[in-house]
Amino acid sequence: MFYVYVLRSNKTGRRYVGSCEDLDDRFRRHNVGESKATKHGIPWTIASRRKVCDPRCGHDKGTILQNRTRP
């Protein structure tokens, strides 16, 4: 199972859309600074997440999630 997720930075308010197989591990890595794209926004919270069966459909889901979470 794959996940498409939207993170929101508690520090900057910025959003980040990503996809992965292990959401718990990926979320942990975002919050300890292991991701170059998100290390300046720590701490992050999960604003939205969706399970997808096929990683190829993740980009479409990511677009939907990103549009739903706009302020």
What's the whole-number mean pLDDT along residues 49-66?
A: 68
- In this prediction, residue 69 carries a pLDDT of 52
- Mean pLDDT check: name the lowest of 22-26, 31-35, 66-70: 66-70
* Half-sphere exposure of residue 12: CA atoms within 13 angstroms, side-chain side: 10
Residue-averaged pLDDT of the chain: 85
Long-range contacts of 20-23 (CB under 8 A, 24+ apart): 23/49
Task: Provide DSSP, 36-59.
Answer: TTTGGG-SEEEEEEEEESSGGGHH
Contact in structure between 69 and 18 (CB atoms under 8 Å)? no
What's the confidence (pLDDT) of residue 36?
Answer: 95
- 26-42 pLDDT tens trace: 999 999 999 999 999 99
Q: Are 44 and 31 in contact (CB under 8 A)?
A: yes
